[in-house]
Amino acid sequence: MNPSASPSGQSEVHRWLWRWHGYAGLFVIPFIFFMALTGLPYVWEHELEDWWHPEYRALTPQATRVPYEQQLTTAHAALPDKPLYMVKVDNDPRHATQFMFGTSDDPVSVFVNPYSGTVITQFSEWTRLSYAAISLHGLTFIEPYGSWLLELLACWGIVLCITGVYLWWPRGKGKLWGVFLPRLRSDGRTRWRDLHAVTGFYFAAVLALYLITGLPWTAFWGGKLMSTIQDATEQSYPHCMSSEAGMQSVPPTPDAKPVPLDAFVNFGLQQNLPGHLEITLPADNTRTVHLQNQLNRATVQKHFQLDLFTAKPVGTADWNDMPITQQAVALGISLHEGQLFGRITQITSTLLACIFMLMAGAGVAMWWKRRPQGKLDWPQSVTAPPLPLELKAALIALGFVLPMLGLSFIMAAFFSKTRRS
């Protein structure tokens, strides 16, 4: 903000930003509340699964296990019409072996008791609480439009954070209550205003960080813009980290057959990697087997491409092989998922989700109490005043970094001008 601007000019800018903060809030506040609520089941995915599904998460360990190849045959017999997608092997002896069939978009899991070799249960992954939460959290249930809507709302959520701090900024003499501490003993709108504004001041940057770290999942910013830039700057993931790495398996003899699944499992277990193993078998005998450990923290993940006929690595990659931009994205994803520092991040993410819901709820309560009786009280139309240079630069920079936001700026300006003419 230009400190030399006149008080009236400051007032016009303040009113203009207040209008857009209000409009953004009408659409973004329900989104923030919804995202915080649906993110919690994913943060506590494993704990909830232990509690909800003891039939395959609380087995009694035995001295011997049925060979994994035999378990695979049993699982395949339960779903003979679907191709195998992935095998998950947990180093926890209480957990069953998970065989995922179908595709990554619609997987069906079969859980096999590794000690008896019998099928425990099978179900579509989308009926699992964590998968359902992911579908809701990512708006995948309204694809192909869900991801675009998610990105647009996340961008305007960032605007909401920035304008909220600007509107909170004290312009008079220094105050404590109502600025840095909420006046909880006040009645009506004042209490809700302070819960919204003061809490927002302390946590706006954190909320913006969570919104930014969610962008890599979106179809445009993450799937098109960021991936195009990474390809152009040679900052893409190493090919070895993909199940579609394109590496070749070479049969030692013309009549050679792939080694049993046990060879790949044993190789993975011998690496003493944290978390569970995920083994993706190729669609044909010319490709390699992708094996990785999964712990939701990229810093400890390791990827192998294994020869289908020998189970020996033909390629490997880990955190040190990732370009710096991918490392930054991976850390952001781990933070977003509440897994960066294990239990501490889970608890912190839960508290932050509750704070975000409090901010959103307080904003709605403040608006509800402020509105005239019997009316919705939409933000009043305010003509854009001459904006300070710093504010113009910030808006232009945001529009370039977040193209969906920039496009919405142009559309909003067009409709605003049309409405006035």
Residues 302 and 348 in one domain: no
Per-residue model confidence (pLDDT) at position 381 = 59
Per-residue model confidence (pLDDT) at position 309 = 95
| pLDDT tens-digit map of 211-243 | 999 998 888 888 888 888 887 777 777 888 877
In a domain, 131, yes or no: no
Residues 251 and 192 in one domain: no
In a domain, 330, yes or no: no
**How many CB atoms lie under 10 A from the CB of residue 222?**
16
Residues 363 and 409 in one domain: yes
Q: How many domains does the chain have?
A: 2
Residues 38 and 65 in one domain: no
Residues 20 and 149 in one domain: yes
Task: State how far the alpha carbon of 145 is from the alpha carbons of 1, 25, 28, 153, 348, in Å.
Answer: 37, 21, 17, 12, 31
pLDDT > 90 in the chain, percent:
37
Task: State how far the alpha carbon of 346 is from the alpha carbons of 136, 301, 338, 412, in Å.
Answer: 20, 19, 5, 38
Residues 286 and 317 in one domain: yes
Residues 93 and 166 in one domain: no
In a domain, 23, yes or no: yes
Residues 167 and 20 in one domain: yes
Task: State how far the alpha carbon of 268 is from the alpha carbons of 91, 105, 275, 320, 384, in Å.
Answer: 10, 26, 11, 19, 61
Q: Which domain holds residue 92?
A: 60-114+241-322
Residues in the chain: 421
Q: Which amino acid is at 217?
A: W
Residues 201 and 248 in one domain: no
Task: State how far the alpha carbon of 240 is from the alpha carbons of 248, 259, 297, in Å.
Answer: 12, 21, 17
In a domain, 125, yes or no: no
Residues 68 and 35 in one domain: no
What are phi and psi for residue 182, nearest 5 degrees?
-75, 145
The two tokens of residue 29 are: 């506040």
Per-residue model confidence (pLDDT) at position 18 = 82
| pLDDT tens-digit map of 332-371 | 888 888 888 888 989 999 999 999 999 998 888 887 777 6
| pLDDT tens-digit map of 254-304 | 888 999 999 999 999 999 998 899 999 988 888 999 999 988 778 889 999
The two tokens of residue 27 are: 């659409």
Which positions of the chain have pLDDT values less than 70? 1-10, 171-174, 178, 245, 371-384, 415-421
Sign, CA dihedral 227-211-335-165, equals positive
Residues 30 and 95 in one domain: no
Last residue of a domain, one of 322, 356, 386: 322
pTM assigned to the model: 0.82
Residues 38 and 64 in one domain: no
Per-residue model confidence (pLDDT) at position 2 = 39
Nearest-angstrom CA–CA distance, 175 and 190: 15
